[in-house]
Amino acid sequence: MTSPLWFTEDFEPKKGRRVQVAYDAVLESRQSSFQKIEVFQTIPYGKMLVLDGVIMLTEFDHFAYHEMMAHVPLNAHPHPKRVLVIGGGDGGAITEILKHPGIEEVVLCEIDKDVIEVCKEHFDEFKGAFSDKRLSIIVEDASTYIESISDYFDVICVDSSDPIGPAEVLFQKRFYTHLFQALSPEGIAVTQSESMYYHTDLIRNLVSQNQEIFPVTQYYYTVIPTYPSGTIGFSFCSKKWKPFDQLNSSRIAQIKNHRYYNEAIHRGSFALPEFLVGKGL
C-alpha cells in the first residue's frame, strides 16, 4: 500500500503547532506577483486552496466560514443593497452574499487576480457568482481602493488572510478608519480576526482599537475543523446596529440551503468563553 502524501502547515512552529492533511495530487501550483497559490486534491476534505503555505479553504468545511462572514452582517442590517468584499478572491463570500434577493451591487476588491483565476478553474461551487451581473471585480490593493470611498457600502466583508505580508495592513487602525468612512450611515463591517485560542492578544487589541472608531464593536466566531484550533473569529463593527437588532426569521428563511448558519447560530456565535470575557471582550 502506497503511503499518502502529506501537506503540512507549520503555522506556529516555535509553539509546536502544525496542521497536516493527506492528499492525492497537486492540481495547481503557481507563483503570482504576491504569493504562491496551490490547490490540492486531499483525501479527507476534497479540494483545498493554499496560499503561501497556509490553508485558505477546503470543499469540506468552507461554508462554516463563508456563511458566517456573509449572513451575520447582512441579517444584522435592515436593508443591505451595496456590499464590498475585500480579499475573498476564491468566490466563497460573494457566493453567499449574492443569495440575498435585496442585494443590488457587490464589489470584489482582490489584490491578486491569479487567486480569482485559479479558483474559477478549480472550485465549481463558486463559479456562478463570478458571472452574476450584480458583481464587479476590482484588482487593486484594498487599503488604497477604500481610501477613495465615502458613505457608500451598506456592508463590507474583509475576507483577509493572516496579518502577515500583503494582508498586514488590513489589521491596522488606519484601515479600520477607512472602513468606517466607506460605510453608509447604517453600515456594518466584518473582518477576519483570527483564532480566540491562539491569538487572544491580537483580538483584544483589535476590539480596543475598533471601539475608538465604531459605536458597536463585538467579536464572534465560527467552528471550522481545517483551521488551526478549529475556530476562526470575526470583528463585527457597526455604525448603528447591534448584532441582533434587525434579526428577522422570515428574512433568514428566504435564503435556502444554509449548511451552518441559522438564527440560533447567529445569536450564539457572539457568546464568548470566559477566558475571552475576562480579557475585556
pLDDT tens digits for range 178-217: 999 999 999 999 999 999 999 998 899 999 999 999 999 9
Which superfamily does 5-58 belong to? Spermidine synthase, tetramerisation domain (2.30.140.10)
- pLDDT of 169 > 80? The answer is no
pLDDT in the model for residue 165: 56
Strand pairing of 5-12 and 153-159? unpaired
pLDDT tens-place string over residues 92-145: 999 999 999 999 999 999 999 999 999 999 999 999 999 999 999 999 999 899
pLDDT in the model for residue 168: 60
Which superfamily does 62-277 belong to? Vaccinia Virus protein VP39 (3.40.50.150)
pLDDT in the model for residue 173: 87
pLDDT in the model for residue 3: 73
Q: Kindly indicate the confidence band of residue 161, based on its pLDDT and cuts at 50, 70 and 90.
A: low
- Terminal CA-CA length for the chain: 51
Task: Flag the least confident range among 10-24, 101-115, 119-133, 252-266.
Answer: 10-24
- Residues 241 and 214: their CA atoms lie apart, in Å, by 11
Greater confidence (77 vs 11) lies with: 77
The listed range with the strongest mean pLDDT (4-13, 165-174, 179-188, 272-281) is 179-188
pLDDT tens-place string over residues 68-78: 999 999 999 99
Show Cβ contacts of residue 228 under 8 Å, excluding neighbours closer than 6 positions: 9, 11, 12, 17, 19, 195, 198
- pLDDT of 279 > 70? The answer is no
Exposure letters 48-79 (e unless 16+ CB within 10 A, then b): bbbbbebbbbbbbbbbbbbbbbbbbbbbbbee
Residue among 171, 174, 179 nearest 214 (CA): 179
Residues 75, 247: contact at Cβ < 8 Å? yes
Q: Kindly indicate the confidence band of residue 164, based on its pLDDT and cuts at 50, 70 and 90.
A: low
Task: Flag the least confident range among 87-96, 156-165, 245-254.
Answer: 156-165
Return the bridge partners of 135, or none.
Answer: 106
Q: Which sequence spans correspond to the domains of the chain?
A: 5-58, 62-277
Q: Kindly indicate the confidence band of residue 4, based on its pLDDT and cuts at 50, 70 and 90.
A: confident
- pLDDT of 280 > 80? The answer is no
User: Cell triple for residue 254?
Assistant: 428566504
pLDDT in the model for residue 12: 83
- Across the chain, what does the average pLDDT equal? 93
pLDDT in the model for residue 1: 53
Percentages helix, strand, coil for the chain (3-state, rounded to 5) are: 35, 30, 35
Greater confidence (160 vs 36) lies with: 36
Residues 229, 241: contact at Cβ < 8 Å? no
User: Cell triple for residue 133?
Assistant: 451581473
pLDDT tens-place string over residues 33-48: 999 999 999 999 999 9
User: Cell triple for residue 141?
Assistant: 490593493
pLDDT in the model for residue 92: 98
- Residues 142 and 107: their CA atoms lie apart, in Å, by 11
pLDDT in the model for residue 48: 98
Strand pairing of 183-192 and 153-159? parallel
Phi and psi for 9 in degrees, rounded to 5? -105, 105
Name the catalytic one among 112, 114, 154, 159.
Answer: 159
Show Cβ contacts of residue 163 under 8 Å, excluding neighbours closer than 6 positions: 170, 171, 194, 202
The single residue listed with the C-alpha cell 460573494 is 94
Is 159 in the active site? yes
Residue among 142, 156, 231 nearest 194 (CA): 231
